[in-house]
């Protein structure tokens, strides 16, 4: 072998080893007397690092109140009906008076009514605590999480008592999202003095977030859009709830209060008539600070998340809220890594046996490919999940197939460039799949797609720049 | 001949697998099936391996999964299919002995979790997979239109369905545990099937080109 060729191959091999060392070990620098890796850490998904386990329990007390409300409504309807009957049927009135004269009958009637009332309450409670309502609540929670861009979660509902168990990724947003997930979503606009309900959730169309930049910064607005009926109601309300000045020059304000689940969002009055059905509420103050602005946007989007989804049929309360480590522990990860190393070793041995010296160089290049892919995963902030691990395995196998075809082409004295191009064209359907998955918000899919995409792209470039050149240098030498 | 035998075998596996899946269902892992989380605050830093050893002795090997609760490594959760008073008592006693604490079974909280619905597990994957499949298959049909547009398109769709059905059948027949790795495995199978279709069509196209040249 010529000295020049040996040197070229040696340079490539040393570069690959260096990249492998950087990727698998890191770059260490002394910082405050301690050696620290200056490369960023891998981002870990919930199936590898751990997750927040949350249970939402049906609030029985509220359910009881709801039952009572339903009962009193029913009772009121019955009373009305009874009044109507009383005025029309005199015979029945006489009978009732006769019965009232008899104390024993009266007591019995009272007991019967009470028992009937309890049974009715139980029946109504049974009507509320149904499998359908539990399932609907689960769907609403799922929709809210989708709206809040929760990248992955597990949800289950107990069909007997309606308890919802959630497994959410642990991050800075988890607690904020949880606060809003448990809300019933009962939005009302009431008269601040009389508490009369002026507009309700049924009058809403949707809620969107808007930004208005001005000289002092950016203001975040929550735009509440009303439906046709709501628009008319809002117009009337905006005409009534205004600031008025009497003859003496004294001003009086008629105010409304916006509520979410009974909690006051805002108390205000209208400066002008709103006829377009859009009510804009500013969230926080105008700001130039990115973190502050982000907080306002998050707050607005959480309220929008609740308003844009149905109202929960039941009231839920947060029961258990704890961080739990992942089922996949360090030992399982070690096993996965060992299995991957063994498979790679088998593939390398295959290359060595089949292609001898060329196989050795490409075996080293194969390790370099994995090292580069891991560096890209780190650099592009792809989360390490089971999905991305699977995609890494697929990328390695594809790279092996591609390298094998390049080595075969070299052995058969075919054009290497053409082989690499053909392989890349053959991989286009996989590129399509990877790109589609990349744009999905579900972490398992997006990490799978992103890893696949970079794996494929790296494979084409790497084979052209490294694998091909090793073979070219070797054949030039011959 | 060999190919037809292979197709018959695949067909049989799929039929048996689907039938078994419908009759017995799949074998869901502990984290997906209805389970109980036995939680105990120990108040001392624990080693996961020690807790695993205790759990294996009390609840049975491969019938429990240990997790550390919160970040201080002093609380554990053991997921089991179901537990009884005797097991809980034995678990607490073993923990008391190991860590020199004095807890009773009343200190243990048992959280019941219901089974996860299979639809909830696969729901986030359905739409993106259909979109990816549609675009990839249309591309394949256009790229290899010389092999017959509709023939290529339908065979690609069919092969993907067959491979995924085969994977389902393998899980149903072998009673392999359906866990967090199942979906990534199904995704791998999906990608390899598309790759296989692509390689196969490329080879067929080469043969046609070769025939034309000759």
- How far off is chain B from A156, nearest CA to CA, in Å? 5
pTM given for the model: 0.83
- What residue ranges in A288-380 does DSSP mark as E strands? 316-325
Residue B31: closest CA among chain A residues belongs to which residue? A327
> d(Cα B132, Cα B124) in Å, to the nearest integer?
14
Which residues make Cβ contacts (< 8 Å) with residue A73, sequence separation at least 6?
none
CB contact under 8 A, A444 and B114: no
Residue B111 has its nearest CB partner, among A320, A325, A440, at A320
Residue B68 has its nearest CB partner, among A55, A325, A398, at A325
pLDDT for the residue numbered A127: 79
Residue A388: closest CA among chain B residues belongs to which residue? B184
Count of residues for chain A?
Answer: 478
Q: Convert the pLDDT of each residue in B158-181 to its tens digit.
A: 999 999 999 999 999 999 999 889
> d(Cα A174, Cα A145) in Å, to the nearest integer?
11
> d(Cα A189, Cα A384) in Å, to the nearest integer?
46
Interface of A with B in 30-59 (CB under 8 A): 47, 55
Calculate mean pLDDT across residues B194-202: 93
Which is more confident, A474 or B121? B121
Where in chain A do CATH 1.20.1640.10 domains reside? 3-39+328-477
CB contact under 8 A, A387 and B124: no
Selected residue of A134, A158, A167, A433 to mutate for chain B interface (largest B Cβ count, 10 A): A433
CB contact under 8 A, B139 and A429: yes
| Token pair 């609403």 in the structure block, residue | A140
Residue B71: closest CA among chain A residues belongs to which residue? A323
**Domain A3-39+328-477 superfamily per CATH:** Multidrug efflux transporter AcrB transmembrane domain (1.20.1640.10)
Which residues make Cβ contacts (< 8 Å) with residue A432, sequence separation at least 6?
B132, B135, B136, B139
Report the run of H or E that residue A58 belongs to, with start and end: strand A50-58
CB contact under 8 A, A386 and B68: no
User: Chain B residues with CB inside 8 Å of A326's CB?
Assistant: 67
| Token pair 């809403």 in the structure block, residue | A204
Which residues make Cβ contacts (< 8 Å) with residue A253, sequence separation at least 6?
A242, A243, A244, A269
B71 near A323, Cβ under 8 Å?
yes
3-state secondary structure of A258: strand
pLDDT for the residue numbered A91: 38
pLDDT for the residue numbered A468: 85
User: Chain A residues with CB inside 8 Å of B125's CB?
Assistant: 442, 444-445
> d(Cα B27, Cα B30) in Å, to the nearest integer?
9
What's the distance, Cα to Cα, between the start and end of chain B in Å?
A: 28
**Residue A397: exposed, middle, or buried by beta-carbon count in 10 A (0-12, 13-18, 19+)?**
middle
Bridge partners (DSSP) listed for residue A213: A218
Which strand ranges, in their side-by-side order, compose the sheet holding A50-58?
A154-157, A164-169, A50-58, A316-325
pLDDT for the residue numbered A173: 87
pLDDT for the residue numbered A96: 36
Pairing state between β B109-113 and A383-384: unpaired
CB contact under 8 A, B70 and A322: yes
pLDDT for the residue numbered B1: 59
Which residues make Cβ contacts (< 8 Å) with residue A12, sequence separation at least 6?
A361, A365, A466, A469, A470, A473
pLDDT for the residue numbered A378: 93
What's the distance, Cα to Cα, between the start and end of chain A in Å?
A: 8
Q: What is the DSSP letter of A130?
A: -
3-state secondary structure of A245: strand
| Token pair 């592009």 in the structure block, residue | A380
A426 and B CB contact within 8 Å: yes
- In the predicted model, residues of chain A with pLDDT beneath 50 are 70, 72-110, 113
Residue A433 has its nearest CB partner, among B48, B132, B185, at B132
Residue-by-residue DSSP string for A404-438: HHHHHHHHTT--HHHHHHHHHHHTHHHHHHHHHHH
| Token pair 């294996």 in the structure block, residue | B56
List of domains in chain B: 2-27+117-213 (no CATH), 35-113 (3.30.70)
> d(Cα A195, Cα A189) in Å, to the nearest integer?
9
pLDDT for the residue numbered A86: 41
User: Chain B residues with CB inside 8 Å of A324's CB?
Assistant: 67-69, 77
pLDDT for the residue numbered A215: 86
Question: Is pLDDT at B204 greater than 80 in this prediction?
Answer: yes
Rg (alpha carbons) of chain B, rounded to whole number: 25
3-state secondary structure of A194: coil
CB contact under 8 A, B67 and A398: no
Q: What is the DSSP letter of A39?
A: S
Mean pLDDT of chain B: 92
Instruction: Report residue A20 as tokens.
Output: 């492998």
Residue A437: closest CA among chain B residues belongs to which residue? B128
Instruction: Report residue A125 as tokens.
Output: 């409670």
């Amino acid at each position: 072998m010529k000295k020049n060729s040996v040197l070229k191959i040696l340079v490539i091999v040393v570069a690959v080893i260096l990249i492998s060392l950087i990727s698998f070990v890191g770059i260490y620098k002394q910082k405050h007397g301690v050696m620290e890796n200056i490369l960023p850490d891998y981002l870990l998904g919930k199936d590898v690092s751990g997750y927040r386990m949350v249970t939402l329990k049906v609030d029985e007390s509220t359910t009881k109140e709801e039952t009572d409300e339903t009962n009193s409504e029913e009772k009121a309807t019955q009373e009305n009906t009874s009044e109507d009957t009383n005025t029309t049927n005199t015979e029945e009135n006489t009978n009732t008076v006769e019965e009232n004269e008899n104390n024993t009958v009266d007591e019995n009637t009272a007991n019967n009514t009470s028992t009937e009332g309890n049974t009715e309450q139980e029946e109504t409670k049974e009507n509320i605590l149904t499998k359908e309502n539990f399932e609907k609540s689960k769907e609403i929670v799922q929709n809210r999480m989708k709206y809040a861009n929760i990248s992955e979660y597990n949800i289950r509902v107990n069909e007997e008592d309606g308890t919802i168990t959630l497994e959410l990724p642990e991050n800075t947003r988890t607690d904020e999202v949880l606060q809003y997930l448990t809300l019933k979503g009962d939005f009302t606009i009431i008269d601040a003095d009389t508490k009369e309900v002026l507009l309700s959730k049924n009058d809403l169309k949707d809620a969107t977030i808007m930004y208005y930049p001005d000289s002092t910064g950016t203001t975040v607005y929550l735009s509440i859009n009303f439906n046709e009926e709501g628009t008319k109601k809002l117009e009337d309300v905006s005409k009534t709830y205004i600031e008025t000045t009497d003859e003496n020059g004294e001003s009086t304000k008629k105010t409304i209060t916006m509520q979410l689940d009974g909690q006051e969002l805002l108390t205000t009055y209208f400066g002008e008539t709103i006829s377009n059905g859009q009510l804009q509420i500013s969230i926080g103050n105008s700001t130039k600070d990115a973190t502050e602005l982000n907080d306002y946007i998050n707050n607005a989007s959480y309220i929008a998340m609740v308003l844009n989804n149905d109202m929960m049929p039941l009231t839920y309360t947060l029961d258990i809220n704890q961080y739990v480590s992942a089922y996949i522990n360090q030992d399982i990860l070690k096993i996965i890594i060992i299995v991957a190393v063994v498979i790679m070793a088998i593939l390398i041995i295959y290359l060595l046996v089949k292609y001898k010296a060329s196989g050795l160089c490409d075996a080293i290049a194969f390790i370099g490919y994995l090292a580069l892919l891991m560096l890209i995963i780190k650099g592009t902030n792809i989360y390490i999940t089971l999905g991305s691990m699977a995609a890494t395995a697929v990328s390695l196998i594809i790279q092996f197939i591609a390298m094998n075809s390049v080595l075969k082409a070299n052995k058969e004295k075919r054009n290497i460039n053409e082989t690499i191009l053909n392989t890349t064209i053959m991989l286009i359907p996989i590129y399509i799949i990877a790109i589609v998955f990349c744009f999905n918000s579900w972490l398992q899919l997006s990490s799978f797609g992103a890893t696949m995409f970079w794996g494929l792209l790296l494979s084409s470039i790497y084979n052209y720049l490294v694998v091909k050149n090793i073979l070219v240098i070797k054949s030039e030498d011959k | 001949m060999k190919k037809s035998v292979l197709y018959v075998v695949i067909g049989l596996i799929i039929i048996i697998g689907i039938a078994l899946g419908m009759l017995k269902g799949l074998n869901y892992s502990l984290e997906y099936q209805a389970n109980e989380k036995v939680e105990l605050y120990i108040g001392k830093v624990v080693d996961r391996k020690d807790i695993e050893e205790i759990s294996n002795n009390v609840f049975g090997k491969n019938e429990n999964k240990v997790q550390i609760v919160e970040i201080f490594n002093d609380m554990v959760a053991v997921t089991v299919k179901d537990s009884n008073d005797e097991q809980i008592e034995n678990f607490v006693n073993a923990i008391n002995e190991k860590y020199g604490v004095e807890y009773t079974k009343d200190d243990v909280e048992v959280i019941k979790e219901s089974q996860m619905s299979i639809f909830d597990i696969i729901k986030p994957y359905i739409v993106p997979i259909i979109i990816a499949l549609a675009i990839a298959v249309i591309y394949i049909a256009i790229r290899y239109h010389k092999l017959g547009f509709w023939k290529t398109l339908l065979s690609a769709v069919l092969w993907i369905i067959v491979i995924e059905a085969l994977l389902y059948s393998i899980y149903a027949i072998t009673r392999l545990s359906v866990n967090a790795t199942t979906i990534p495995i199904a995704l791998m199978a999906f990608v390899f099937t598309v790759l296989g279709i692509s390689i196969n069509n490329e080879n067929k196209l080469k043969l046609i080109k070769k025939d034309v040249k000759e």
